[in-house]
Amino acid sequence: MISEYNISRRGSSTSLFGNVDRTALGIYIAIVIIGVLSITSASFDAETTNIFSFSHNYMKQIVWVGISSVMAAVVLLLDRRLFHMFAYPAYILGILLLLGALAFGREVNGAKAWFELGSIRVQPVEFVKIATALMMARIMSDYSFNIRRFTDLVKVALVIIIPFGIIVLQNDTGSGLVLGAFLFVMYREGLSKYIYFPVIFTIVLFIAALVLQPVIIFLVLLILFTLYSILKTQELEGHMRFLFGVILAWLLLSTLTPLSGYVSLMIVCGVAVLILTFLAVKTRTMMLLWPILMFVYAMLFVPTTDLLFSHLEPHQKNRIHTFLGLVDDPRNVGYNVNQSKIAIGSGGMWGKGFMEGTQIKYDYVPEKHTDFIFCIVGEEWGFFGAFIVVSLYIALILRLMRMGERIKEPFGRVYCYSVAAILLVHVLVNVGMTIGLMPVMGIPLPLMSYGGSSLVAFTLLIMIAIRLDASTSDGDIYI
């Protein structure tokens, strides 16, 4: 049960703007306005007689802005205890909506992740991010919660894994990867940094396995493992002998037997791991056990990379190959990114002016009003405009983190950090893919990309954080 102590200092907490963080609210409004202007530029047709027709994307977006504004006002007037109270129901409803979309939803761009209600399409995953953030905050704010306790860590992990699994089944992997943002929150709440190393190690191994031969990967790992052992034990000669012994044994086995070089290396490495484990335990050099385990994990993971990669859709494989430089196809697979980079680069320092972008006007950039809306900013407003937009996002993220630190109780802190992390991942991936630094994942730019589901969901996500912060500013303390 939650008990409440209200210490009124600067007016009622139910006042709409009394203690709302106006800086965060102002940044939100600025980004939304820039988004509407960008969508207008992307979809405006001078030959259309009725510029206020709802056949235009910008008019539809303006309607969604109005709906989002009403919902924002409602959220700011709600009692903040409701967010804590309805965290479980919201999460369960979100999971049911994901399952419903998987079973009965409409397939769009290869992902069965949408409900279609007449002319309106709703993507449940956008709202599941809110439900997951609330659920994370609810669990991690329990009095007895300790993120270093295994059972509690499993609870938090399941909150993320369950929706992620359903989203992957919907073939919307890009949206699922956004849930990885909660790893930042868990780190802020005290999760050991050593738990993150296997995650990073897996990602590096996956990319390396697509680019390099397995033999090269394991030779590099052997060298790195030897260097680590030398640094930790200060024994140069013994470890160098062991390294050269492994390499020599591998060369002999692959030369004198019909086994392939890779199979020979795996056999030699397997024997080496057993010997090293025995020596580490016998000499109580326990610091060497975890790199040995990582090496064993690599031995198991690298051979399965092709199997994991084969389960991706063809367009996902092509995007990864293009991103890694394994395929150079600017007229087909890499067309979107290539045209986006041309548009952004052509904007120069100050841009071509509002509605003057030639790449945008003549439809060279596909999905220009949704996933690639940032290239409109780059072409029409140039580097200066792009810098302003990115700065606004950074300011909003930092403001949300400041709110989290300002809120003394864990529920609000965890939620605010969750919102900041989700925004950070969305902005990094979306901006990164428009300039060729990230693979194309179909992730919208928050508050700017065209789409009612995205705009409403991000509005609710941010406004809940602002409301929780306003309660703290009022002097309301919830225990």
Domain boundaries, position 280:
212-310
47 vs 227: which has the higher pLDDT: 227
Q: Are residues 35 and 92 in the same domain?
A: yes
pLDDT higher than 70, residue 288: no
Tens-place pLDDT, residues 172-184 = 877 888 888 898 8
Q: What is the dihedral of CA 421, 426, 431, 436, to 10 degrees?
A: 100
Give the per-residue pLDDT at 169: 85
Q: Please state, in angstroms and as integers, the Cα–Cα distance from residue 99 to each residue in 13, 159, 180, 383, 435, following that order.
A: 37, 15, 20, 42, 34
- Within-domain flag for 44: yes
102 vs 330: which has the higher pLDDT: 102
User: Domain end: 250, 277, 310, which one?
Assistant: 310
Q: What is the mean pLDDT of residues 343-366?
A: 81
Cα angle 138, 455, 367; round to 5: 130
Helix/strand/coil for 106: strand
Tens-place pLDDT, residues 21-51 = 889 999 999 999 999 999 988 877 666 666 7
Q: Are residues 179 and 246 in the same domain?
A: no
- The 3-class SS string of the chain reads CCCEEECCCCCCCCCCCCCCCHHHHHHHHHHHHHHHHHHHHHHCCCCCCCCCCCCCHHHHHHHHHHHHHHHHHHHHHCCCHHHHHCHHHHHHHHHHHHHHHHHHCEEECCEEEEEEECCEEECHHHHHHHHHHHHHHHHHCCCCCCCCCHHHHHHHHHHHHHHHHHHHHCCCHHHHHHHHHHHHHHHHCCCCHHHHHHHHHHHHHHHHHHHCCHHHHHHHHHHHHHHHHHHHHCCHHHHHHHHHHHHHHHHHHHHHCCCCHHHHHHHHHHHHHHHHHHHHHHCCCHHHHHHHHHHHHHHHHHHHHHHHHHCCCHHHHHHHHHHCCCCCCCCCCCHHHHHHHHHHHHCCCCCCCCCCCHHHHCCCCCCCCCCCCHHHHHHHHHHHHHHHHHHHHHHHHHHHHHHHHHCCCHHHHHHHHHHHHHHHHHHHHHHHHHCCCCCCCCCCCCCCCCCHHHHHHHHHHHHHHHHHHHHHHHCEEEC
Q: Are residues 151 and 267 in the same domain?
A: no
Q: Are residues 166 and 229 in the same domain?
A: no
194 vs 2: which has the higher pLDDT: 194
Q: What is the mean pLDDT of residues 230-235?
A: 74
Q: Are residues 304 and 162 in the same domain?
A: no
368 vs 39: which has the higher pLDDT: 39
Q: Are residues 235 and 135 in the same domain?
A: no
- Within-domain flag for 399: yes
Give the per-residue pLDDT at 351: 86
Q: How confident is residue 479, by pLDDT bands cut at 50, 70 and 90?
A: very low
Is residue 397 within 8 Å of residue 425, measured between CB atoms? no
Which tokens is 329 given? 């196809």
User: Domain end: 257, 278, 310, which one?
Assistant: 310
Dump strand ranges (E) for 16-157: 106-108, 111-117, 120-122
Q: Are residues 357 and 462 in the same domain?
A: yes
- Within-domain flag for 329: no
Q: Are residues 434 and 396 in the same domain?
A: yes
Give the per-residue pLDDT at 385: 92
Q: Are residues 195 and 247 in the same domain?
A: no
- Within-domain flag for 348: no
- Within-domain flag for 39: yes
Q: Are residues 122 and 170 in the same domain?
A: yes
Fill in the amino acid letter for 100: G
Tens-place pLDDT, residues 75-125 = 998 888 899 999 999 999 999 999 998 888 887 767 778 888 777 788 888
- Within-domain flag for 336: no
- Within-domain flag for 319: no
Number of domains present in the structure of the chain: 2
Q: Are residues 189 and 43 in the same domain?
A: yes
Which DSSP symbol is given to 372?
T
Q: Please state, in angstroms and as integers, the Cα–Cα distance from residue 478 to each residue in 131, 136, 417, 445, 465, following that order.
A: 21, 17, 18, 34, 15
User: Domain end: 244, 275, 310, which one?
Assistant: 310
- Within-domain flag for 334: no
Which tokens is 101 given? 């979309």
Q: Are residues 293 and 367 in the same domain?
A: no
Helix or strand (DSSP H, E) at 25: helix 22-43
